[in-house]
Structure 1
Amino acid sequence: MRFIKMAVTIDRHEGFGPFSRSQRCKLQSYGHLDPNVVEHSKSGGTFSHSIELAFEAYNIHRSFSTPCLPLTTLVGEELTCHPPRIEIVRGSGAPVHALVVEVAIALASGIKPIPIPSGLGGAYAFCNQNGTNIAVAKPVDEEPFAFNNPKGLGGQMLGQPGLKKSIRIGETGIRELAAYLLDHGGLAAVPPTALVKFSNAAFFVTSNAAASALPMPKVASLQRFVGHAFDAGELGPSFFSVASVHNIGILDIRIMNLDRHAGNMLVAEHDTNNASYGSTVADLVPIDHGFCLPEWLDDPYFEWLHWPQASIPFSDYELDYISKLDPFKDAEVLRTAIPLLGESAIRVLIVCTVLLKQAAAAGLCLAEIGQMMTRKFREGQELPSEMENICLKVKASIHTKNRTEQGSKCEGAQISFGDLNQVQWEAFLEVFGELLRSVFEDKKCNGKKLEHLGSY
């Protein structure tokens, strides 16, 4: 059997692909995406046409720096004039580049993405030549309800309300990336994540597109695969370290995670002695952040809310980390790195981070903050969360109209900040901060009263 040498050419500006010989070449990378592309898909344009417009709208940069990684491929195996290819659309940093290089090598070696049967959307595992899983890709056109969904949940176009009404179809991938970018210092251990474009790779396509000579390019989130023996649902919370629960909770509060369930916290075990939680304490690795940063205040789901660790006070290190969070810098990071993420979602990040900072400084624990953000049920009705009520009061105080201000029910409510102009938004933040300080002062006073009564 005859072998030939191949190379994966790596552009420092995000291009990755296999070539039949070592060479210096200039690969395209894609910069700022015109938000009008999403508006086009909302107005009824086809997905394929929207994607075409999207990539035409990128500013194209070229690089003359192209180190090559040699590898060996069998003649005739996936070596055609149209080899599979992966390019970074959004994402940067050494861990992201290393991940994409590994996937590029796998593609050039003839390894195909493996469909993952679980979940409601299309997801694929990539392995290396040794058979070890290295990455998970989730194409945006295969999300739940998206027209190319492989699980029978398709039929709708990008830009329409998705499985979570406050998050549009086709936008979970950019939120996966946002969670990674916001996990400063890797506190919560979100795996390296990027938004990438696959060309000529073997992903699912509808029967209408299957007749095409070449697979349609796919935009997908790509995340480092996390090796694990369990997820949090397979072990009791007593096995998890306090720090790990707190770290994930801090991130979930900031990004208003609507879907933090036990299945998307993976268990990475290590042995340590901890008298409170047993002899083996597991660290948790959070994945699946597509349902975070909603366009309006929604009802988050925090699996950790009633775990004993969430009621333990923050450590000095955690309090210091929270105090140094800058929601306005984070907002600029997202505006620059992910221009497709709507301003209304970015403002939700700011509001939630302000709440976290003031609550932690006032001495509230993770569980108490999570309870403030979670809606309540009474007599079969869903009522606004404490946080939503505070925001309603603030919006009313700056004379903005909101359809939920006159009622106590939360059904169908959309407390959004996207309807505020810049002057109103600044006024909102000022009044919001003042009202939070008053709320936390009252909580302190009530806590002292209860403490006093308990001493009798």
Structure 2
Amino acid sequence: MNSDVDEHTVINVTNNTLPDVCIVSSENQPLLPPSSPGTPNMELADNPHLPPWNTNITDDPEYAEVIKQAERAIEGSILPVRIAAGSSGSYFVRNLEGKTIGVFKPKDEEPYGRFNPKWTKWLHKTLCPCCFGRGCLIPNQGYLSEAGASIIDTKLRLNIVPKTRAVRLAADSFNYPAYQRHLITAKREINESVGRRMHGRRVFQPKGLPPKIGSFQLFVENYVDADVFLKQLDHDSLPEDVTKQFQRQFERLVVLDYIIRNTDRNNGNWLVKYEVKTNSERDMTKNDGSGDEGDHLNNAVTTSTTDEATSTRPAVDIRIAAIDNGLAFPFKHPDEWRTYPFHWAWLPQAKTPFSEEIKSLVIPLLSDLNFVQHELCDEIQRLFSQDKNYDRRFVERQLSVMRGQILNLVQAMRDGKSPFQLVQMPGVIVERLTHDPHGGDVSGPKQFKQIFNDRYPLFSWF
């Protein structure tokens, strides 16, 4: 990487100004349970004796209840349904009533996964490997990227990513190799045969298919593809107060995508909900405490406008849901033949400078060095460290890109730039320096090296 970039400066952490970052102790727990001392970094899904869902999700009772509903439905033969679209195996998960409650994306069914059921992607990878995949991403870590985007969203109080965590699920509708299915069937038949002759005895323990590890994202209702909404917007303009609300939601999408350096954000993988409510319904929503802390700024704009100018007509809620975050957290800026642009940069909303509302929400957080390192970088590192193929060096490179994105974002907001101007800024990497040749932590203040990227993709005009 050093051959492709120019070193800019070396920074010693001595104060609370960007891009310095401080290390503090963490009280949060990783999303996945730690591996045992005897088997470091072992993939948890490979052990059928482990519980069927992540035990650490009990810190979120509502999310844990959804996972339990999914398991009860699978036990009741209401199996997840594979989603036809996309380049990997992903599934709509339902409850006992048949209602979709989540989207599960197994790790081993990702585009590079061994059991990806999409034969077109297998053909693409086999016949044209040079044009397959994304050279700036670590293969088969899309499920971690999905969960990592949810962490960033929660920490920054953006509230646009449906809650996502890494869990384990097993279902007959998942894509398992034929030998596993035949083996399970043979064991069941042998047990049934022995049981008939020996009064219920069995030869094999009753085990089903092994659970798969993957990302589980809560399902959102009454949303439409952004592409559909934007086409409608071209024909029917929104009222001024609704336009402002949509702009605030759009800015949150920009903040999320830029920080995680999403390489796959097009108008088909973010959703919009346009909901008309009576004033009484809006008041009930506020009074029941269902709004998140991050919505206070958003509500402040819409509430004042509604109270002053539109008190006699129904209120409108516009929400954005940022889904499909599996192709983010690159370990380098795109520098090959594809640029992976942010497609929202061509929208009219991207030409408007960042509002004071979004600035007051994220700048105090992203300017806090303890927050950036402890709440963002450390949490992402803990999440990624639970993967079977965890490589600390690559994760540190991913975090270096993320730190650089944060640095650019804060500077652009302070300079009064727009999202369109933000994406035109040169890529920055903020590397953490260590004196340990084995890459371990060192005592004393941490040093960071700020680097500008000077290698750009072939089609940079995109």
Q: TM-score, normalised by structure 2?
A: 0.61
How far apart, in 1, do the equivalents of 2:44 and 2:158 lie? 37
- Which of 257, 262, 268 is the matching residue for 2:267? 262
- Which of 307, 317, 321 is the matching residue for 2:347? 307
**Counterparts in 2 of 1:210 and 1:108: CA distance versus 1, 3 Å:** closer
Aligned counterparts, 1:153-192, within 5 A? 153-154=121-122, 163-183=133-153, 184=155, 186-192=157-163
**Counterparts in 2 of 1:37 and 1:250: CA distance versus 1, 3 Å:** same
Greater shift, 172-181 or 123-132, is seen at 123-132
Structure 1 counterpart of 2:330, which letter? P
> Deviation per CA, 1:3-39, whole angstroms, max 9, x where unpaired?
xxxxxxxxxx999xxxxxxxxxxxxx832489x977x
**Counterparts in 2 of 1:319 and 1:141: CA distance versus 1, 3 Å:** same
Q: TM-score, normalised by structure 1?
A: 0.62
> Which 4+ residue blocks in structure 1 deviate beyond 6 angstroms?
272-275, 418-423
Tell me by how many angstroms 1:154 deviates. Answer: 3.8
Tell me by how many angstroms 1:177 deviates. Answer: 0.4
Identity %: 22
**Structure number with higher strand proportion:** 1
Return the structure number with greater relative CO, CA threshold 8 A, min gap 6: 2
**Which structure 2 residue ranges, 5 or more long, are not aligned?**
1-28, 185-207, 278-301, 307-314, 453-462
Structure 2 counterpart of 1:270, which letter? E
Structure 1 counterpart of 2:221, which letter? G
How far apart, in 2, do the equivalents of 1:364 and 1:103 lie? 45
Q: What residue is the counterpart of 1:344 in the other structure?
A: 397
Tell me by how many angstroms 1:260 deviates. Answer: 0.7
Structure 1 counterpart of 2:95, which letter? N
How far apart, in 1, do the equivalents of 2:52 and 2:439 lie? 38
Structure 2 counterpart of 1:327, which letter? V
Aligned counterparts, 1:85-164, within 5 A? 86-88=52-54, 93-152=60-119, 153-154=121-122, 163-164=133-134
The answer to whether the Cα contact below 8 Å between 2:103 and 2:216 also exists between their aligned partners in 1 is: yes
SS at match of 2:427: helix
**Counterparts in 2 of 1:209 and 1:177: CA distance versus 1, 3 Å:** same
Structure 1 counterpart of 2:166, which letter? L
How far apart, in 1, do the equivalents of 2:440 and 2:344 lie? 33
**Counterparts in 2 of 1:53 and 1:215: CA distance versus 1, 3 Å:** closer
SS at match of 1:136: strand
Tell me by how many angstroms 1:113 deviates. Answer: 0.9
Tell me by how many angstroms 1:346 deviates. Answer: 1.8
- Which of 290, 295, 306 is the matching residue for 2:326? 290
How far apart, in 1, do the equivalents of 2:35 and 2:357 lie? 37
Q: What residue is the counterpart of 2:449 in the other structure?
A: 428
Tell me by how many angstroms 1:55 deviates. Answer: 4.9
> Deviation per CA, 1:299-333, whole angstroms, max 9, x where unpaired?
44312101111222222221012212242121012
Aligned counterparts, 1:36-435, within 5 A? 51=43, 55=47, 86-88=52-54, 93-152=60-119, 153-154=121-122, 163-183=133-153, 184=155, 186-199=157-170, 201-213=172-184, 214-236=208-230, 238=233, 241-271=246-276, 282-298=318-334, 299-323=339-363, 324-325=365-366, 326-329=371-374, 330-339=376-385, 340=387, 342-372=395-425, 386-387=426-427, 426-429=447-450
Tell me by how many angstroms 1:268 deviates. Answer: 1.1
**Which structure 1 residue ranges, 5 or more long, are not aligned?**
1-12, 16-28, 39-49, 61-84, 373-385, 399-417, 433-456
How far apart, in 2, do the equivalents of 1:300 and 1:355 lie? 18
**Counterparts in 2 of 1:55 and 1:349: CA distance versus 1, 3 Å:** farther
Tell me by how many angstroms 1:280 deviates. Answer: 7.0
SS at match of 2:411: helix
- Which of 34, 37, 41 is the matching residue for 1:31? 34
Structure 2 counterpart of 1:223, which letter? Q
Tell me by how many angstroms 1:258 deviates. Answer: 0.5
RMSD: 4.0
SS at match of 1:263: coil
How far apart, in 2, do the equivalents of 1:312 and 1:217 lie? 47
Tell me by how many angstroms 1:419 deviates. Answer: 10
Structure 1 counterpart of 2:347, which letter? W
**Counterparts in 2 of 1:200 and 1:287: CA distance versus 1, 3 Å:** closer
How far apart, in 2, do the equivalents of 1:281 and 1:52 lie? 41
**Counterparts in 2 of 1:271 and 1:293: CA distance versus 1, 3 Å:** same
SS at match of 2:416: coil
SS at match of 1:135: strand
Structure 2 counterpart of 1:167, which letter? L
**Counterparts in 2 of 1:331 and 1:190: CA distance versus 1, 3 Å:** same
The answer to whether the Cα contact below 8 Å between 2:30 and 2:383 also exists between their aligned partners in 1 is: no
The answer to whether the Cα contact below 8 Å between 2:144 and 2:383 also exists between their aligned partners in 1 is: no
> Size of the alignment, in residue pairs?
325
Q: What residue is the counterpart of 2:196 in the other structure?
A: none
SS at match of 1:291: coil
The answer to whether the Cα contact below 8 Å between 2:45 and 2:168 also exists between their aligned partners in 1 is: no
**Counterparts in 2 of 1:303 and 1:419: CA distance versus 1, 3 Å:** farther
Tell me by how many angstroms 1:247 deviates. Answer: 0.5
**Counterparts in 2 of 1:136 and 1:366: CA distance versus 1, 3 Å:** same
